[in-house]
Amino acid sequence: MVAAVTTSILKKLASLIGKVYKNHRNLQMEITFLKDELGSMNAVLKSLSNMEELDTQTMEWRNQMMDMVFDSED
């Protein structure tokens, strides 16, 4: 009887650990993706900050990104 209960508990624990690992792994992948995206955006924003003249669409994108960065920082 005890062995059956222990086996059942171990199976449930293994299942839960597997789910936690999967969630953790997915979160790691999402964080890596966001880090890469933010790095790319930062590089573009640095390039745009040194430019004297920008077309309207690029200027609007730059301003929106800079606002988002400042809001995130706050």
Least confident of 3-7, 32-36, 43-47, 53-57: 3-7
Contact yes or no for 62/45 (Cβ under 8 A)? yes
Using a pLDDT cut of 70, give the percent of the chain over it.
Answer: 96
pLDDT(30) > 70: yes
Higher pLDDT, 74 or 47: 47
Mean pLDDT, all residues of the chain:
85
Contact yes or no for 54/48 (Cβ under 8 A)? yes
The pLDDT assigned to 9 comes to 83
